[in-house]
Structure 1
Amino acid sequence: LEGQLHRFNTIMTAVPDFVYEINSEGRFTYASQSLLDLWQIPKEDAMGKSFAELDYPPELAGKLDRQVQQVIATRRVLKDETPYTSASGTREYEYIFFPLLSENGDVESVAGVTRDITERKQTEQALRESEARFRAMFEQASVGIVQIGDGGRIVAANKGFCEFIEVDEHDLRQMSVGDVTHPEDLPRERELTRRLSAGEIPEYTLEKRYLRPDGSILWGTMTATFVRGSLGESLYTLAIVQAIGDRKRAEEQLRVSEERFRQFAENSADVFWIVDARTQRFEYVNPVYEKMWGEPRAKVMQDSDHWLELVHPKDQEMAKEAMPKVLVGETAVVEYRIIRPSDGQTRWIRDTGFPIWNDQGEIYRVAGVAQDVTDDKKRTEKLRMTEERFRLLVEGAREYAMFLLDVDNTITYWNAGAERVFGWKAEEAIGRNGELIFTPEDRANEEEEKEVATAKAEGCATDRRWHLRKDGSRVWVDGVMRRLDHANGDIRGFAKIARDATELRKSEDQLREANEQLERRVHQRTQELQAMNESLEAEMTQRQNLEREVLQATEHERARISQDLHDSICQELTATAFLLKSQSKSLATENSPAAAALTEAAEMVNANAGATRDLARGLHPLELGPSGLVAALRELAARTNESVTCRCDCPRSLRIQDASTAVNLYRIAQEAVNNALRHAHANEIVICVERERDEIVMSVCDDGTRPPRSRRSKGLGTQMMKYRASVSSGTLTVESKRGKGTKVECRVPLRP
């Protein structure tokens, strides 16, 4: 037994794992030497102690005690991991607790085995990180990554390749390399793959065309390599695919660009030239050289210094200095004159040379553009003279303030007129903001910004306001701000022109004050006239009412007289005629002459009675109800018809509700008929009444002849007719033409 125990201890000493036993009270009853070495205490100091007493962290000691009791209670093996810090540092450990049973089956204690798994954990972590990096690279890489198995079968593909080929990964797994490769590129790829699998090459790169399901073709660069296992066996082919469509397009664009450059250079109005930086010989000169320089370009291609011979002697030194500057990396712009051998003309040339760098950062070519600027020089000189004249004009216009501002509203020019109007000298104003001349209240209201905004949007903005002078006084200006543009339409600044209008402003203020006083006086006078007008209207209304009452009284008096004539005189005359006839009959046998005289007297009395009745009816016609006017006019025509032809053309359905209007129309017709009989000696009279829209139109026409206008009586008849028409809110016109008679027409509104 002792020998076995010795062998057991020897084994436990050699085993790197920690082996130990814990009783039901959680105290150690055995610990292998490796565990004692970890604790760095002798065996006698460790036995009988708990985890806490062995300086385990409280949280870990509590956890381990609970797990020991769990194993005792459940009789099951428990496996767990935990970090533990000892004198050698913090390490990761894996431990197993399992119950030790007695002969009767009770749990006597718990045995434990703990293993240091720090290296394994680190390896696993490194593996996980490596796999994560690969997975991230596989899934997130912008390039395509494809795993290819035996026979060219696609095993997996990342998002980049799926988007490149426009096929989802599930469908790609059902496809092979041949399904996505252009047929013309497939043999070359298969040959390279064969050599790769045979170990002849470690990898290969191939530019190939890929096919999308829609038949479109994409260019890509594929780099393929074998991925092998730990034993060297081939697992799969890993292909990395990068789209080179942009590069291919760039190459095509470069080719097209070079072709365009050639066409452009061949057809340009400027000379394009290229010189080898090392030999300083011309490599290219376009055909325009022959026209601009007046000689074949073959001469300059054969002798690079020949062009300098054509440069004006005074400009040769300056022209020669350009090339050394370009060869050290500068861009040189030089203007010189040439004397053309073809016609002897002197032309101005602006020559711009610039370096061309290679991939190594070296200047290997010098290129340039030569332009004939002779006409530009002439225009520039003309412009200079124009600007000089403009400057003289502006400086001489001292009555006007003229100044320029840039896009930031900074004053860039200030003429003498501006100095006179505002007080600041040019050196004081130039460089300052345009708000310099604005009053404090206008600055607070941002009037200057509003003016600039208006000028920007509309091209100009009026400037009529009080401005500030240098001495603090104010000046009223009448001016305008205009936007100034570059040739391409971009804004380059503003120009402001203004004149001192202070005296004019004062005159305007005085005129405005005078106008206001005049308006007040006119308003006052208007009120007075309005009051007088209202009083006059009241008087006229009162007068019209009185006249209406007079007409009514006249009609009442006519009616009374008519009634008296009819009831008294007519009755008495009738009775007298009856008496005379009676006496005539009684004397017929006794005295026939007397009887005849009485009979004649009776007839005369009857005639007078009839005339009296007609007079009574004329004074007061039939009652003029709604339809009474037509009847009264017909009766008037019938009475008049006894001496002349008189007819009445009136519709029987015509009705006039207003009795006053009917009476006035009747009296007008009566007066017109009487005038035709008395003054015109008419043979025919026509009375007409009709309705036109919202008016009643009555006319009396005759065929008589009236005396000349100078001999006509200006009696009351016509005036009364017009007055009666106005009382009924109507109008009356009298038209008389020589040989055509007279027409009296009255129009009155139809009242409900």
Structure 2
Amino acid sequence: MFLIMKKLKRLARKEKRSTRNGATRRPNRRRDRDGNSSVRRRRHPKTELEAAIQRFVDLYDFAPIAYVSFDRAGRIEEANLVATELLGDPRDRLIGRPFAFYVGDLDLFLRHLLYCRTSQQQVETELELKPRKGERIPALLCSRPITSTTRNGALLYQTAIMDLTERKRAEQALRESSQRLQATYERAPIGIIESSPEGKYVGANEEFCRILGYPKEELLQRGIKNVTHKEDYSRDIKLHRQLVAGEIPFYEIEKRFVRKDGAVIWAQVLRSIVRDAEGTPLYTIGAVRDITEHKAAEEKLTWLAAYPRDNPDPVVEFDLETHAIYYANPAAFELFPDLQRLQLRHPFVVQVMQVAKPLLEGRTKAVHADIDVGKSCYAATAVRIPKTRRLRVYSSDISERKRAESALQESKRLLEVRVRERTHELAVANTELRNEIERRKGLEGEILAVSDREQQRLGQELHDGVCQHLTAVAFMARSVALRLKNHRVIDAADIDKIAQLVNQGATDMRNLSRALHRSDVDAPKLVGALQDLVDREIWRVPCRLEVKPSFQVEDDAVAAQLYRIAREAVINANKHAQAREIVVRLERSPGGMVLRVTDDGVGFSNGTELRQGLGFHIMNYRAQVMGGRLEIESPKRGGTRVSCYLPNKALQSRKKENADSGLPGKIANALAALI
């Protein structure tokens, strides 16, 4: 596209030089029907196709993604602005240079180029770019074959270069987060097991495999039933089903496992469930702690009951009748110095009495509970001494274990929060990318529609106007030739008629050229350009202009946009309104200025379909560029009114921008025409 624009600009400069030298200047004076002479300015036609190409070039050049096109040998033929920034070289240095100079891995690029040659589909390759300055950049090349319009139909590969730096960083952060989660999972000091809702193991960490003595691959082939002691299975599976059904949020159980070597061990299992957003169970997760030694300690405590004095752990007996401490071994007094003074009011004793109610009521033989006293935590086991009213409590300090479990739970919670945040960010990024792709497809479609519509209109105008005049001239010329051949008298009126038809065809061609585009509209010439617009003979509906002689527009870009909006509205009214008259009105309003194009045609009942047309979108875009707004309405008396409102604030802003820019007048006009 860059080469196309260079060729168009070169032709334009050549035409200006030839006009300046007088080589192509034609008389601009012609006679009207009354014989009077009128002077009309010569105009340089600029087709809508050129404007569409310019808009496409702007989209290509200022796209937020780098684009390059290279030939079969890998030489760069086209590059947009983002590509020049990414590769670190100006466009004139990039064009004609092998793209391989900017690639870190030459083999990858050569393989990419080979795939481009042998495939008609889009080819994608990830590699590292080596810009002229700076560090290497991870990138994704997306190439597809196109036919060049400037190199005699040569095959090029248009390539989008996606900078993957941010994505690679996000992937690296996600990998590190996943690795931390996996390390926490695998190195946890307790066993962690994941089970399906049916009870089959689907995941396990190293500690759980060590507890049961199974390799992970073999353990995952088994389920809860295969490794649970048969006397404990029914109780465990019942709680598991209640958990899956949502009847309980979690459960804790002490049960026996059967190791691979046949040994029976005791374990404490705390199990919860993970569900999806709809509440469907995905899997259960359980924390398993080997309490075989704890159970052995309980049996040892039972044996040591006869010898409490030698017990290294606190042992306390309560007299339920006198509500006093009956006995406490030295370890208890060492651990709780104020036990003798506070008696049953001691925090440790108060909590034990609360959890021991089932034991006092005879519903169980022993009670296990974790008791918090200050910053310490104790695993307490309470038993009732047979044939007495005394309660004996054995305890051990488990503070370190509790702190480790709390830290593990907090790490798990933080990790889950981070995973949810990353998932949300990726979803938002994917949505934005899809929206951007759809918007670009829409812009490409509009550009093609503009080109097709203008080509069709040009063909129709040429066929209905100029071709008919030329056909009539040819017919009359053949008639005169036959008369000359037969030596018959030639009527001078026939020759005059031929000349009249030729002049009329030339007039139609000039009118058609003026209708294509007007590129010389600036602020002082706006009123004259609008008057020339409504006076054209090509309109089927009479047009007139209403504007005060003193009305002026100070900004050239605003004048150009107002003229194009008026021209589009007049064209639409001639095509669709079925009107008897079209009025173009330019006037001041309390808040600025307004351009109105009004017709007395059929109007419309619902503006939704009208606002979906390409013409409305073009006019609305031009109004927004100026800082104004566009309204289309159907008055009660009928017809259609197109109004472009431009506030004073927008006019002052554009005037200040032009003053600050410091650009010469011709350059400013060219930029305004591009908009």
Q: Which has the higher contact order (CA 8 A, sep 6+)?
A: 2
| Fold in common (TM above 0.5) | no
Structure showing greater radius of gyration is 1
Question: What TM-score comes out, normalization by structure 1 length?
Answer: 0.30
As a proportion of its length, which structure holds more strand? Answer: 1
Question: What TM-score comes out, normalization by structure 2 length?
Answer: 0.33
